């Protein structure tokens, strides 16, 4: 008899991918300007720390809110006692208004169709439970956020089939890639229940084009049992043109309220983790016009509620429209400036990025630094960058990119001074590589470090076939 459950002892969480292993190495040796100036700089964390001063300024001007008071009187007892899992109506109304503001008020949201969750992680998993059975599949365009292997699959048993996108067209979704992914799922005897996209994309830092959005809507329209989930957690971080277009705007422009068949199969995920830089507050939501999904997700949300104190504080902040408008504009301005700093620093090292207009990271092209066009060479380069250069960045293989040599590099979770130091370290490393190459030194670099254990390369069946053919 087993002492623990299969779930407790299985190794399917995804925690041993290079994405998470890089974090572990950082935590062993974190950079600190004073205490550990030679430590690892964390560039693998998509966290927005650029506008905390704006939030702190608002809190200082509104002490009653942070002190849980209303009209000068304490409401601590009211907030501390039981609240049902529907959430505070004032917060849900403030959230839908904020989401509309981000979208230029071209779309509106009904608070009765919103389900509050403990972050977008919970929102995405809850939708998997609502929309699919164990063994069903969702199609995801590559490269995609490595955490989806955990968020969508671990507890639900749902499978992911990649939609392979290429650098040839800047990783845009194409009809042929969609059809190929769907055919691959069928060949694997998987029932495809939908498509999940991040818009703006993590890790690309780009917004989906109107053409791509229409393609996705058309695709699920042609498959009557398929859903479309649009994770729009980075929607407020768009800092350059083209602007952000939500899938809800596409539906508004193309379908009437009578077209329930399509409205019921499109769902939006959102969170305040990236736009407001509040991942520790654990505030996310599902928005759906499907009443059954909303009812089921609301019941499930009881396993991951947002505290009443958090809802009260943030409802007051989001209701301050003058503040939110100022915040969005200033935050985007700061993101634009910081992204330019990263791109410029990389260019000085001879490294280019995919042109981006959103997010907290850049999709960086280091293919020319690989010893060979393989994922093994990508891992070798990544290990050197982590252990020798002491920068934790995320390799493309952890994002299921089908082309070796791409990396996600974050820029908003550190000071300008730290970013400059990171670029200085990288420039020295690239110069060393170039010098080594010029001298004809093809020996493998031996660094004094501990080897990582259990590297995980999650490849689709197509990837396996392609690799087998290359080895033959």
Sign of dihedral through CA atoms 129, 134, 136, 142? Answer: positive
Which residues have C-beta within 8 Å of that of residue 211, sequence separation ≥ 6? none
Q: Give the pLDDT confidence of 305-341 residue by residue, as tens digits.
A: 999 999 999 999 999 999 999 999 999 999 999 999 9
Question: Has residue 266 been placed in a domain?
Answer: yes
Give per-residue pLDDT as tens, 383-415.
999 999 999 999 999 999 999 999 999 999 999
Among 13-22, 160-169, 190-199, 357-366, name the one with the lowest average pLDDT: 13-22
Q: Does residue 96 share a domain with residue 41? A: no
Q: Which of 278, 293, 323 is the last residue of a domain?
A: 323
Cα–Cα distance between 309 and 91 in angstroms, integer? 11
Asked, for residue 442, whether it belongs to a domain, the answer is yes
| Residues in CB range of 158: below 8 A, 6 or more apart | 128, 132, 134, 135, 136, 137, 138, 152, 193
Model pLDDT, residue 445: 44
Catalytic entry in 233, 286, 351, 393: 233
| Calpha distance 341→130 (Å, rounded) | 42
Q: Quick one: tokens of 90?
A: 């004032």
Write down the pLDDT at residue 159: 96
Which one of the listed residues 19, 26, 145, 312 is annotated catalytic?
145
Instruction: Decide which of 287, 306, 323 is a domain's last residue.
Output: 323
DSSP state of 117: E
Could you tell me if residue 116 is inside a domain?
yes
The average pLDDT across 87-104 equals 95
Confidence of residue 15 (pLDDT cuts 50, 70, 90): low
182 counts as catalytic: no
Regarding whether 101 and 234 lie in a shared domain, the answer is yes
Q: Are residues 139 and 183 in the same domain?
A: yes
The answer to the question of residue 1 being in a domain is no
pTM value is 0.89
| CATH number of residue 372's parent domain | 3.90.1150.10
Question: Is there a single domain that holds both residue 282 and residue 255?
Answer: yes
* Total domains in the fold of the chain: 2
Q: Which residues pair with 79 in a beta bridge?
A: none
* Tens-place pLDDT, residues 439-468: 654 444 444 344 443 333 333 334 443 433
What is the mean predicted confidence (pLDDT) over 369-373? 96
Active site (annotated) includes residue 233: yes
Identify whether 34 is a catalytic site residue.
Answer: no
* Given the residues 274, 287, 327, 387, the one annotated as active site: 274
Q: Which of 298, 323, 348 is the last residue of a domain?
A: 323
Confidence of residue 437 (pLDDT cuts 50, 70, 90): low
pLDDT of 285 over the 80 cut = yes
Quick: pLDDT tens for 32-72: 999 999 999 999 999 999 999 999 999 999 999 988 888 88
Output the average pLDDT for the chain: 90
Point out the catalytic residue in the list 136, 149, 231, 365. 231
Based on the domain organization, do 167 and 269 belong to the same domain?
yes
Note down the domain range covering 157.
61-323
């Amino acid at each position: 008899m087993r002492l623990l459950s299969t779930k407790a002892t299985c190794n399917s969480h995804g925690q041993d991918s290079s994405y998470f292993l890089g974090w572990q190495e950082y935590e062993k040796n974190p950079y600190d300007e004073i205490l550990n100036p030679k430590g690892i700089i964390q560039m693998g964390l998509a966290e927005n720390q650029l506008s905390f001063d704006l939030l702190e300024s608002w809190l200082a001007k509104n002490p009653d809110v942070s002190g849980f008071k209303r009209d000068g009187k304490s409401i601590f007892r009211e907030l501390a006692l039981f609240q049902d899992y529907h959430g505070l109506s004032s917060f849900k109304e403030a959230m839908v208004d904020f989401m509309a503001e981000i979208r230029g008020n071209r779309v509106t949201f009904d608070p009765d169709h919103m389900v509050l969750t403990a972050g977008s992680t919970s929102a995405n998993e809850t939708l998997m439970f609502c929309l699919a059975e164990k063994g069903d599949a969702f199609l995801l365009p590559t490269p995609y956020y490595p955490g989806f292997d955990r968020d969508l699959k671990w507890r639900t048993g749902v499978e992911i089939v990649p939609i392979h996108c290429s650098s040839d067209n800047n990783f845009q979704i194409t009809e042929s890639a969609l059809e190929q992914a769907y055919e691959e799922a069928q060949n694997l005897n998987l029932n495809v229940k939908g498509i999940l996209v991040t818009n703006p994309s993590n890790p690309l830092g780009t917004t989906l084009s109107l053409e791509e959005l229409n393609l996705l809507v058309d695709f699920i329209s042609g498959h009557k049992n398929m859903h479309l989930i649009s994770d729009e957690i980075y929607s407020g971080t768009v800092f350059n043109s083209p602007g952000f277009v939500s899938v809800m705007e596409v539906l508004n422009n193309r379908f009437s309220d009578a077209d329930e068949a399509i409205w019921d199969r499109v769902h939006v995920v959102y969170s305040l983790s990236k736009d407001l830089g509040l991942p520790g507050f654990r505030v996310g939501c599902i928005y759906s016009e499907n009443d059954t999904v909303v009812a089921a997700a609301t019941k499930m949300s009881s396993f991951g509620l947002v505290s009443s104190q958090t809802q009260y504080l943030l409802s007051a902040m989001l209701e301050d429209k003058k503040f939110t408008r100022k915040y969005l504009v200033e935050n985007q301005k700061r993101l634009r400036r910081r992204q330019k700093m990263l791109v410029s620093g990389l260019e000085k090292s001879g490294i280019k990025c995919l042109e981006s207009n959103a997010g907290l990271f850049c999709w960086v092209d280091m293919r020319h630094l690989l010893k060979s066009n393989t994922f093994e060479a990508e891992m070798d380069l990544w290990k050197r960058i982590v252990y020798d250069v002491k920068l934790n960045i995320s390799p493309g293989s952890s994002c299921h990119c089908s082309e070796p040599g791409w990396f996600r590099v974050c820029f908003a979770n550190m000071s300008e001074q730290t970013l400059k130091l990171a670029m200085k370290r990288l420039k020295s490393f690239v110069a060393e590589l170039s010098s080594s190459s010029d001298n004809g030194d093809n020996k493998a670099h031996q660094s004094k470090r501990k080897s990582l254990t259990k590297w995980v390369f999650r490849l689709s069946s197509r990837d396996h076939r392609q690799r087998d053919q290359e080895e033959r």
